[in-house]
Amino acid sequence: MAKRTFENALTKLDRITAELEQGDLGLDNSLKKFDEGVQLVKFCNEKLEEARSQVELLLKKNDKLTAVPFSEEATEVLKC
Beta strand 56-61 with 64-69: parallel, antiparallel or unpaired? Answer: antiparallel
pTM comes to 0.65
- Calculate mean pLDDT across residues 18-45: 96
pLDDT for 69 equals: 65
The domain segmentation of the chain, as residue ranges, is: 6-79
Say whether pLDDT at 19 is over 90.
yes
Three-class SS state of 8: helix
pLDDT for 3 equals: 86
